[in-house]
Amino acid sequence: MAQVVNLKVGQSAKVIGEVKFLSTPEAGIHIGELVVIRGPVEIGEGTTIKDCAYIGPNTMIGKNCLIGPHAVIGDTTYRDVAMKFDPDDVYTENKPVMTVLGDNTVIGANTTLKEGTYLEDNSIVLNGGTDIETKIGG
């Protein structure tokens, strides 16, 4: 396994599961205090994740992104849900869905992005992003 360079992780941060930190000597990754990252997750070089953020599984964060404090990324969708449509019941399947943040994306403080969100490069989502679940261009 290659050594990760230029990675700063807050002492109280938790990294659970497989997390790939793609930092370089020129562009590090900074993870704040009380951040929880639950893999599998991939984080691009130059990215900063501020204090108390949560990054759910099956998330890919591009290069030079900023995740604000208390942001929640992915892992917020109710899966395995039964819905009644006469005359049939419809069941969602319990399949993981990838959440993708393109390069140079900014996610504001206290913003929640649902699992399966796809943000193109240069996207900006500020507080109130709780209903963001589709493709957004920057």
CATH of the domain at 32: 2.160.10.10
What would the pLDDT profile of 63-113 be if each residue is shown by its tens digit?
Answer: 999 999 999 998 765 554 444 455 555 544 555 678 999 999 999 999 999
| Bridging pattern class, strands 54-55 and 36-38 | parallel
Taking the C-alpha atoms of residue 102 and residue 65, their distance in angstroms, rounded to an integer, is 8
Q: Specify the length of the chain in residues.
A: 138
pTM for the whole structure? 0.80
Q: Which residues does 87 contact at the CB level (< 8 Å), separation at least 6?
A: none
- How many structural domains compose the chain? 1
Nearest to 108 by CA among 40, 42, 33, 53: 53
Is 50 within the bounds of a domain? yes
Q: How far apart are CA 48 and CA 32, in angstroms?
A: 8
Asked if residue 60 is part of any domain, the answer here is yes
Tell me whether residue 96 is in a domain: yes
